[in-house]
């Protein structure tokens, strides 16, 4: 399974930018990979892991902006169509299968 996070945060003030940076760094430290700008995903081994990481995400939400998450299966993720631009190596289902073992 994959947990995908979509976000749009304000970056008008210095405090907004600091909050954005903290949230972005949290996503990277928690194992999320960038799919495209402001869209991140991480591999989860089962529903328990999805629930755990959704709770961690909720605990680190910024006070302003828009943050959404969506759970998708590997089959759904691999059927995602890339309309413009190349697929990244992290989107390759063979690589994802290998990453899920660790």
Residues 57-71 pLDDT 10s: 999 999 999 999 999
**pLDDT confidence bin for 88, thresholds 50/70/90:** confident
Q: Would the pLDDT of 80 be above 60?
A: yes
The pTM assigned to this predicted structure is 0.82
Q: Which two tokens stand for residue 19?
A: 């909050």
Q: Give the Cβ contact number of residue 90 at 10 Å.
A: 13
For residue 97, is pLDDT > 60?
no
Summarised one tens digit per residue, pLDDT across range 10-61 is 999 999 999 999 999 999 999 999 998 999 999 999 999 999 999 999 999 9
For 13-81, the DSSP string reads SHHHHHHHHHHHHHHHHTT-EEEETTEEEEE-SSHHHHHHHHHHHHHT--SSSEEEEEEE-HHHHHT--
User: Residue 49: CA atoms inside 13 Å, Cβ hemisphere, count?
Assistant: 13
* Mean model confidence pLDDT for the chain: 89
CB of 50 within 8 A of CB of 3? yes
Question: Which CATH number among 3.30.70.240, 1.10.3720.10, 3.40.50.300, 3.90.190.20 corresponds to the domain 2-99?
Answer: 3.30.70.240
Q: What are the boundaries of each domain within the chain?
A: 2-99
């Amino acid at each position: 399974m994959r947990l995908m996070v979509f976000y749009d945060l304000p970056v008008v003030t210095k405090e907004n930018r600091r909050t954005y940076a903290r949230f972005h760094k949290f996503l990277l430290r928690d194992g999320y990979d960038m799919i495209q700008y402001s869209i991140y995903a991480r591999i989860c081994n089962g529903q328990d892991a999805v629930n755990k990481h959704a709770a961690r995400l909720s605990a680190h939400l910024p006070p302003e902006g828009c943050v959404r998450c969506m759970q998708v299966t590997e089959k759904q993720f691999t059927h995602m169509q890339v309309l413009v631009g190349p697929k990244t190596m992290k989107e390759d289902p063979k690589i994802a299968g290998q990453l899920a073992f660790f």
